[in-house]
Amino acid sequence: MRTAEYIEMTIKVLNEILEDLDNILDRLDKTLRVNPAMYILGLIIPPILLDRSKKEYIYSAKIMEDIRDRVKKLREILITPEGEYLIPKTDSLDDILYYDFDYLIDKLYERADAYSIGMQIKDLMKKIESAINELKELPYQH
């Protein structure tokens, strides 16, 4: 594969991950519609709403696991066993390739505060968008 092909593949994968992260944010938004009353007012929430909220967190965690696995595979493709990059190294891409997805996965399984998880996901999305823009500016593009 040529450098340009690796860059194009990386951009494609990062764009797919952005879509999945956006999907997780939508799911977390659904849980925020349920949880504030429980925390702020101490009201009893109907069990069906809590169950739906739990399912959103679990499904989101599974999506995040898939993202982690795709990033790991991308890292294995782009970085040789000797630690050399097959494309020009950028800080944003490096941050993503070595991001601690397990932390977010654990938080999703624990059903931690949806707002704080959402903020961390938005920060990650900004890093990914930055990496995509940096990759698009490389001279290897068609």
Q: Which residue has the higher pLDDT, 136 or 43?
A: 136
Residue ranges per structural domain of the chain: 3-137
Over the stretch 43-81, which tens digit does the pLDDT of each residue have? Answer: 555 555 556 678 888 999 999 999 999 999 999 999 999
Residue 79: helix, strand or coil by DSSP? Answer: strand
Token reading at 72: 């790991």
pTM: 0.83
Query: Hey, how many other C-beta atoms are within 10 angstroms of the C-beta on 30?
Result: 16
- Give the helix/strand (H/E) hosting 30: helix 3-32
